[in-house]
């Protein structure tokens, strides 16, 4: 039996298509993430799954049973599907343990396990207006988990978090999957937040799926520039207008556009012994801590290269080769 199954589900608002007829399925335990720009239909997709929006066409099935929409039941939602909006709210002037007791359906031991997983055990006596944004998010997440869901839908869980709290919520989500055995479906406008977590990433644009696959497949083989940009920095080289790059990429891409990531290129001030290289002039050097991003002018085209070596300055003549073709 398919854990979650969407059959030609669509949604329209004020005559506009928010979500085009969509087919989607996932298995229990599978880690699926949805990525796309703001307004691509990601949040609508989650709300339809959760039973918080009524599909205009098609049906959502969870464990073989159709999910009812808000037009079909008094209280919207599904008892085994939890949804955490990016716009969650906590009641003011309540202590954390009081907020959690309002929704807790678990015994003390099971509830404590959730509080430990969400890293909130030390916050129980704090009031909601004394909490940071990251702490509030983890408490709101724990509230959803105390209803003992089988599927957890997270809308932009990494948004508006600093680096420390982003890594913390990433660890929490990992433990929810592995320790609590809850299947998670994530949405993010930044696909790079999803690369290390997801088994499968679905890219959406204008209410429809444009590509899906493993993180590695999408990173190295995007179907267009939109997907390429969501997955990280890239160079898109048109060998029809810049034949000089055939010396770098080979005759197999003649007359085509070739995508290559900055880290797949090697840069040196010494002319390489191998025959396949291009020569250029360094325009800008950017420091990002673990690496440098270098912009090199080659035949009127800016090529982005990534390196860990601190030995390049604007104006340097450099030579670029392919370090790795990816896979």
Average pLDDT along the chain, 327 residues, taken 10 residues at a time: 95 91 96 94 95 96 96 94 91 91 89 96 93 92 94 94 91 96 95 93 95 95 92 87 75 80 92 87 95 94 93 94 65
Inside any domain, residue 304:
yes
Inside any domain, residue 327:
no
Q: Residue 26 belongs to what H/E stretch?
A: strand 16-26
Would you say 181 and 174 are in contact if contact means Cβ atoms under 8 Å apart? no
For residues 168 and 213, state if they share a domain: yes
For residues 305 and 175, state if they share a domain: no
- Among 192, 209, 229, identify where a domain stops: 229
Burial (Cβ within 10 Å: 0-12, 13-18, ≥19) of residue 151: buried
pLDDT at 324: 53
- State the greatest distance between any 2 C-alpha atoms of the chain, in Å, as a whole number: 73
pTM: 0.89
DSSP E strand stretches across 137-232: 151-155, 183-188, 200-205, 208-213
Inside any domain, residue 83:
yes
């Amino acid at each position: 039996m398919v854990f979650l199954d969407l059959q030609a589900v669509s949604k329209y608002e004020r005559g506009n298509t928010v979500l085009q007829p969509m087919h989607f399925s996932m298995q229990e335990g599978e880690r699926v993430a949805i990525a796309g720009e703001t307004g691509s239909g990601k949040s609508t997709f989650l709300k339809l799954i959760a039973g918080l929006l009524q599909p205009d066409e098609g049906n959502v099935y969870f464990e073989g049973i159709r999910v009812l929409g808000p037009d079909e039941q008094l209280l919207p939602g599904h008892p085994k599907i939890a949804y955490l909006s990016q716009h969650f709210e906590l009641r003011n002037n309540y202590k954390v343990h009081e907020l959690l007791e309002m929704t807790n359906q678990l015994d003390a031991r099971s509830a404590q396990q959730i509080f430990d997983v969400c890293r909130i055990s030390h916050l129980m006596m704090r009031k909601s207006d004394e909490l940071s944004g990251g702490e509030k998010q983890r408490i709101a997440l724990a509230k959803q988990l105390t209803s003992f869901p089988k599927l957890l839908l997270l809308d932009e869980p990494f948004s508006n978090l600093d680096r420390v709290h982003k890594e913390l919520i990433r660890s929490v989500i990992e433990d929810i999957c592995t320790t609590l055995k809850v299947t998670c479906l994530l949405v993010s406008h930044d696909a790079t937040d999803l690369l290390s977590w997801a088994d499968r990433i679905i890219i959406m644009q204008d209410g429809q799926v444009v590509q899906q696959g493993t993180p590695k497949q999408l990173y190295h083989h995007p179907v267009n520039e939109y997907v390429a940009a969501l997955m990280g920095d890239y160079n898109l080289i048109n060998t029809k207008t810049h034949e000089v790059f055939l010396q770098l990429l080979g005759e197999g891409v003649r007359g085509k556009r070739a995508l290559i990531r900055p880290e797949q290129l090697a840069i040196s001030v010494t002319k390489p012994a191998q025959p396949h290289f291009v020569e250029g002039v360094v325009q800008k050097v950017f420091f990002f801590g673990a690496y440098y991003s270098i912009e090199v002018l080659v035949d009127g085209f800016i090529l982005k290269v990534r390196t860990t070596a601190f030995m390049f300055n604007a104006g340097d003549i450099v030579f670029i080769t392919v370090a790795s073709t990816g896979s």
